[in-house]
Structure 1
Amino acid sequence: MLNTETTGAIGLAALEARLRQDIEWLALPGKSWTPKVERDGAPVIDVAIIGGGQAGMAASVALTHLGIPNVIYDQSPKDFEGPWATTARMETLRSPKTLTGPALGFSTLTFRAWFEAQFGLAAWDALDKIPRLQWMDYLRWFRRVMDLDVRNEHRVLAVLPRADGVVELKLQSPQGESAVLARRVVLATGRDGLGGAYLPPLVEQLPRDRWAHSSDVYDYAQLKGKRVGVVGGGSSAMDSAATALEQGAARVDLLIRRKELPRINKGKGSGSPGLVNGHQHLPDAWKWRIRHYVNLQQVPPPSGSTRRVSRFSNARFLLGTAIDSVAVKDDGALLLQTNRGPLELDFLFFSTGFQVNWGARPEFAAIAPHILAWGDRYTPPAGEEDAELRDMPYLGPVFEFQQKTPGALPGLERVHCFCYPATASHGTVSGDIPAISDGAYRLAQGIASLMYGEDVEYHYRNIEAYEEPELAGDEWTPSPWELPELPR
């Protein structure tokens, strides 16, 4: 039990009381204003959100505050949504602790408020970066205090837009298969939201039990006494290497093609309210140029993550190293042929990022062939080719997918991409901590506008039928037309 007199901490109960007061003073959440919709006798949800991580929760709160009912479906068990307590292996978040994240403008909903309420101001001042598992605890609290409707252990089997104004979702849960209808579907599915891990072709030369991607669920304790290689030099590479070392790996080699690690985070340097709000309105050439430059420069691993590796004497940073081929020796060891000579390993991690890969996501099979991608719409100048940007969807102003061939899949525009692949069209507002609230409000306000436009006849009839009087009729006395003659 914390001693609030010595720490200055007010406790979570007091913070939650303040939050409730903030919400009440702002008259939130908004009153539901959308019509009840049915199809063939089945109710239709206004908005179904796929993914209950920080993006999905921020979107849910923003919609709820605008009076739009919504439901979140997440495939993970309760309190394990997102990567933080499962596949993420960093010790702390990269983002500065002062960023407000999914708080949506509420000071009492920030991580800082949650932290100080429990541990006090002195502890906050002493905190450097936010510990990863503590961030997960904060998100669990966020879900609870905002009373979000999250249906856990619901995996999406199919997303099926229809021409009658709804999208059908096929779901698998512990209770079996089911179907729900929604007017709008939001894909808040994270970094690998429209595909999965990117893996180089040499993976095909390896037995499946000898390699893993850094985003895989994997028991690093199996690496004790093993020679481990990690392909890549970003933050996930450092996290995988450090975890392997901490679990007793005999040696860990970081195989990095660059001759030097990047040192400047250009994405951080470009951040401003101007870019957050202005990226979506830029010409395509500028959108591409900015995002390609950031991709080309690459994001450096955090200093702390890198030092976490380098403090081990059995870690090697093999810069300027490219793998030409790999083979399995008779004794089971992996023999890598590199530009710097042969290298023997027992296990190999690929920290090679993610890609849009519709083939890896069978639940999107019905919509994938119809989605307009950046490669369909924009041809960059020579030298600015970028496979990651090319494959990203070319989204509308409300993060909505657009049809490659107009009319080929009516209803596709009812599916909204609120995950990392929205970056090319909207900037970094759909997953990363710094601007997630801005993105959530943009999404919610856009959906509110679209839904009102669809139902404008219904809303007009409500205006006509509205009869609550402002005046009772006895507030005045009619005056005669002719004024009395004034005395001379």
Structure 2
Amino acid sequence: MPDTPALGAAGLAALEERLAHDLLTLNWRARPWLPALSHGGQPVIDVLIIGAGQAGLAASMALAQQGIAAVLLDRAATDYEGPWATTARMETLRSPKELTGPALGLPSLTFRAWFEAQWGRSAWDALDKIPRLQWMDYLRWYRRVTRADVRNEHAVTAVRPRADALVEVDVHTPTGSATWLARRVVLATGRDGLGGAQIPAFMDGVGHASKGGLWAHSSDVLDYATLAGKRVGVIGMGSSAMDSAGTALECGAASVDLIARRTAMPTINKSKGSGLPGLTQGHHELPDAWKWRIRHYINVQQVPPPRGSTLRVSRHAHAFFHFGCAVQQVTQQGQALQVATSQGRFAFDFLILATGFAIDWAQKPEFAAFAPHVRSWGERYQSPPGEDDRELFDSPDLGPVFELREKSPGACPGLDRIHCFCYPAALSHGTVSGDIPAISDGARRLASGIAGLLYAEDVEQHFAALQAYAEPELLGDEWTPADTRQRVLPESPPT
């Protein structure tokens, strides 16, 4: 196949023209069919998506194919949605470059098409993995060409489902606060979508960097240049630990010690091994025991950091990997932290916790109105002995359209109008609501499901419109009635 020349802006313009034609020939943005609603003189949004990262954008584009216009709210400034240009610190994505991500089956909407249009086929062939900031540039382009209706610097402060088929959403913006009304709300809120950083108990009483302390979570906003010349400890040995350690070393840290409770580094990515189309499409229909067993197995096996991320750290002589080092206590002594482990004490000037995320509603006060009513998997399913798993226990028990379910029927009317399209949906639906490999599958499932739910709610209006539909297919001049008597056989005389 001949090489595609690098055309820069001209190549990108040609791609955008091709994409526009693809969308036209597919009739992608279907004719709007939902009745316009208002309540108390206020317009009602059909679908309000909280979060305009890759999950929110994919959901918006999938809804557009169903003829449903969504509005996306994001607290970040324009072009800084999601973690890619803010708190993420990997050099490249962990996913293979060939994955099509949020393209929804449109070749001209893929990262590869975007990349080749600007830099050519040879550059694509030479590319190993996608640079993190380049992925952010692609998502910025994706937002523009899909015409996603994103409202930036719109922070959601409260979500309240109601019994009258509406959801109230309080929103704070640079110009003030307001309450929005929506028929459906989608939580496209990312990896920590129903909680936040998981902070081990051994950090109790130790001051966080935001309050002048000496530690931060790997997901926190942190100027790593301030770690120059310091002894840095990193708790954890996964991908985020490597990203944080590598960044600290490149910013001039005097030393970085990575501390892990596990006795050896995992080397096989079992999660990657589970990425089969059959599981992607069929996870939601599996028996509870199999859902739990698969997700628990992947959790227990642990996902290793990528090879490139690990080499990024190990190439520094002052990086140290410690295994079988369970942390027992962390205390501050002057301007240093003492970290007691099962193998002895460490002294650090700064500590980074790469300890993952927890489903913890207390960290999401904007969801306080409905959080106590959400049924979790721990209330749905009794795990077998030896398969206890806090993450799975706390995961929300979701319906077929990612909708939240009540733990006590009738206690929170309208809860099922809130759809969880973020990582905590993994136990109910598989990893289709956040990670790059199957985000399009999840977005299509969400959008088609919401379309069906909205039609069912308005079925009387749709039936009335069907009855009133009067556009003639025929005008009456297309035929001439025959004289039937001239064409039928004469009647036989009676015998």
- 1:253 counterpart = 2:257: yes
Q: Does 1:231 align with 2:235?
A: yes
Distance 1:176 1:475 in 2: 62
Which one-letter code corresponds to 1:467 in the other structure?
A
The answer (yes or no) to whether the contact 2:190–2:434 under 8 Å persists in 1 is yes
User: Counterpart of 2:160 in 1: which secondary structure?
Assistant: strand
In structure 1, what is the equivalent of residue 150 of structure 2?
150
- Name the counterpart of 1:96: 96
How far apart are the structure 2 equivalents of 1:79 and 1:124?
24
Between the aligned partners of 1:278 and 1:363, the Cα distance in structure 2 is 32
Residue 133 (structure 1) aligns with = 133
Secondary structure of 1:363's counterpart equals: helix
Is 1:416 paired with 2:419?
A: yes
Structure-2 residue corresponding to 1:357: 360
Superposition pairs of residues 36-435 of structure 1, within 5 angstroms: 36-208=36-208, 209-329=213-333, 331-435=334-438
Distance 2:487 2:168 in 1: 73
1:356 and 1:388 in contact (8 A); partners too: yes
Q: Which runs of 5+ in 2 are unaligned?
A: 490-495
Q: Could you tell me how far 1:485 is from its partner in structure 2?
A: 8.7
Secondary structure of residue in 2 paired with 1:139: helix
Q: Quote how far apart the aligned CAs of 1:478 are.
A: 1.1
Q: Once the 2 structures are TM-superposed, how far is the Cα of residue 7 of structure 1 from its aligned partner?
A: 3.6
Whole-angstrom distance in 2 between the partners of 1:426 and 1:386: 17
Find the counterpart in structure 1 of residue 492 from structure 2.
Answer: none
Q: What's the secondary structure of 2:44's corresponding residue? A: strand
CA spacing shift, 1:151–1:469, aligned 2, 3 Å: same
Aligned mates of 1:114, 1:187 — CA distance in 2: 28
Q: Which residue of 2 aligns with 1:448?
A: 451
SS at 1:120 equivalent: helix
Q: Distance in 1 between matches of 2:4 and 2:230?
A: 50
Q: Corresponding residue for 1:472?
A: 475
| Residues 6 and 374 (structure 1), Cα distance of their counterparts in 2 relative to 1, 3 Å cut | closer
- Paired letter, 2:158: A
Distance 2:221 2:250 in 1: 17
Cα distance between partner residues in 1 of 2:291 and 2:319: 39
Say how many residue pairs are matched: 482
**Partner Cα distance (2:377, 2:320) in 1:** 39
Whole-angstrom distance in 2 between the partners of 1:194 and 1:410: 20
Q: What displacement does 1:257 show?
A: 1.1
Which amino acid is the alignment partner of residue 341 of structure 2? Answer: T
Amino acid at match of 1:354: F
Say whether residues 1:463 and 2:466 are aligned partners.
Answer: yes
Asked if the contact 1:205–1:326 (Cα under 8 Å) also holds between the matched residues in 2, the reply is no
- Report which stretch shifted further, 200-209 or 440-449: 200-209
Instruction: Give the CA deviation at 1:5.
Output: 8.5
- The secondary structure found in structure 2 opposite 1:76 is coil
Aligned-pair distance for 1:273?
1.0
**1:484 to partner: Cα distance:** 5.0
Cα distance in 2, alignment partners of residues 339 and 112 from structure 1:
47
Give the C-alpha shift of residue 28 in structure 1: 2.1
Kept in 1: contact 2:4–2:121 (CA 8 A): no
CA distance in 1, matches of 2:190, 2:336: 35
**Equivalent of 1:439, from 437, 442, 447?**
442
**In the aligned structure 1, how far is the partner of 2:393 from the partner of 2:120?**
47
Displacement of 1:272: 1.1
Q: Residue 101 of structure 2 contacts residue 439 of structure 2 at CA under 8 Å; is this kept in 1? A: yes
Percent identical residues: 63
Counterparts in 2 of 1:440 and 1:222: CA distance versus 1, 3 Å = same
Name the aligned partner's letter for residue 478 of structure 1: P
Structure 1, unmatched stretches of 5+, are: none
Report the TM-score when normalising by structure 1: 0.97
Does the Cα contact within 8 Å between 1:156 and 1:363 map onto a contact in 2? Answer: yes
Code of the residue aligned with 2:215 in structure 1: it is W
